A and B are shown apart, each in its own frame.
Chain A
Amino acid sequence: MRTVDVAIVGAGPAGISAALATAETGARTLLIDENPAVGGHLHWRISQTLTDNAGLPVATGPGPQVAAELETLLASFSNLTLSLNTVAWGLFEDRVLALASEDHAEELQADAIILTTGSTDIAAPFPGWTLPGVLTARAAQTFLHVHRVLPGHHWAILGEGEDADELAGDLARCGVEIVVRHGSVDNFRASGTNRLAHVEIDDDVYEVDALAIAMGRQPDAELAFQAQARGAFVRALGGYTPFRDLNGQTSEVGVYVAGDAAGIATLPELVAEGQLAGKAAAGASDAELTRAQGLLNTVANRPRREAIERSRLTDSLNPS
């Protein structure tokens, strides 16, 4: 079985930040992503600015361009391997990680695992939500920004908040019509014969051919739970999240979680969290960890930090 010092699952901003932090220490680092390029949600950003307080280099430009610059930087480390188009589908005892790509499968063992697996859209069900033409906000953004496909011309957006606003902006730039925006699933239904044709809100009927569910996102830390990490449903963090210590280590020694997977976060916060987890996983000194924790605190979103504090592992649970 192949071994590495640190394996990082998910090459979005948090995972890239974690990988750079571990690679700088000389640790043999493996960064895995199921997509064909690194960058995660940067690919959905028309313009993105990274500032140097976050642990990534300063960069600004279209999201995919920023992602490409980061990929070049990752490639400059001879001790860092990038596995794209690869899914991590299992995390077992003793940090054994199961990987699969189209033509390859393996299990490998890592001294430390960092899960930067991001988030999944929340999709509260309503009548008709499984009709073709209904999609989540992230799916809509992937169609627009990655595949350059317009899934519809007459849209309804269900949900309110940042994700809904961002999608509405993207759609407006595409020149399509946003027929109706609605905040909640109460008295909301979608209908159509073989695909979406109408949304009905109370007694009003709207003709649409696409409906985006933009009700926010939830952490996706399934691999941590597979590895038996303890956790709980924490509303302030977006959903089920593993308990962790100050550096992001879960109740399973050597398994870390950072970024949106540890509770929905802003970009500077998830990048700083990735960097901290990377340093901890690579065995950085206490002084360095204190510095990285301080950096995280300066960019942290207060309510999220407080929710993490409340769900933090106590010292008795975490021997480190």
Chain B
Amino acid sequence: MELPDRLRDYVCRCEEIPRSAVSAAIQEGNLTLNDVKRRTRAGMGVCQGIFCLRTVAEMIEAEGGVDADSLEPMTARPPARLVTLGSLAQLNPEE
């Protein structure tokens, strides 16, 4: 049954990726956090995976049969917090 948008259970709320999309990616054989991230965009939003990383790891374990303890975290990339373009522009002004 297709749920109305507001009732869908988004695994990644930043990028609005529903559980069904992550499940489909795992079924396709994406069995690492980075692979699921590249396939679905889960973890690419403003929080950079803080909330969904764990859920995706548990889904890979439950649906993909890979022990979550053996999963590398998603590649962590800056920024770890929201920063404005204005403050970034202040860095290295001489260059």
The chain A residues found within 8 Å of chain B, CB to CB, are: 34, 87-92, 98, 100-102, 104-107, 120, 122-131, 189, 191-193, 218, 220, 222-223, 225-226, 231-235, 239-240
Known contacts being A87-B83, A105-B87, A223-B80, is A125 close to B11, with CB within 8 Å?
A: yes
The chain B residues found within 8 Å of chain A, CB to CB, are: 3, 6-11, 13, 19, 48, 50-55, 57, 68-73, 76-84, 87-88, 90-91
Q: How many A-B residue pairs have CB under 8 A?
A: 102
- A107–B90 alpha-carbon span in the complex (Å): 10
> Which one of A87, A126, A130, A193 contacts B81 once the chains associate, using CB atoms below 8 Å?
A87
Q: Indicate if the CB atoms of A125 and B3 lie closer than 8 Å.
A: no
Known contacts being A129-B10, A191-B7, is A232 close to B87, with CB within 8 Å?
A: no
Q: Indicate if the CB atoms of A100 and B84 lie closer than 8 Å.
A: yes
List residues of chain B with CB within 8 A of the CB of A90: 78-80
Q: Indicate if the CB atoms of A100 and B80 lie closer than 8 Å.
A: no
Q: Indicate if the CB atoms of B55 and A124 lie closer than 8 Å.
A: yes
Q: Indicate if the CB atoms of A235 and B6 lie closer than 8 Å.
A: no
Cβ of B64 to closest chain A Cβ, rounded Å: 14
List residues of chain B with CB within 8 A of the CB of A235: 68-69
The 8 tightest CB contacts between A and B, nearest first, are A90-B78, A225-B76, A89-B79, A105-B87, A87-B81, A105-B90, A100-B87, A226-B76
Q: Indicate if the CB atoms of B9 and A104 lie closer than 8 Å.
A: no
> Which one of A34, A89, A125, A131 contacts B78 once the chains associate, using CB atoms below 8 Å?
A89
- A127–B51 alpha-carbon span in the complex (Å): 16
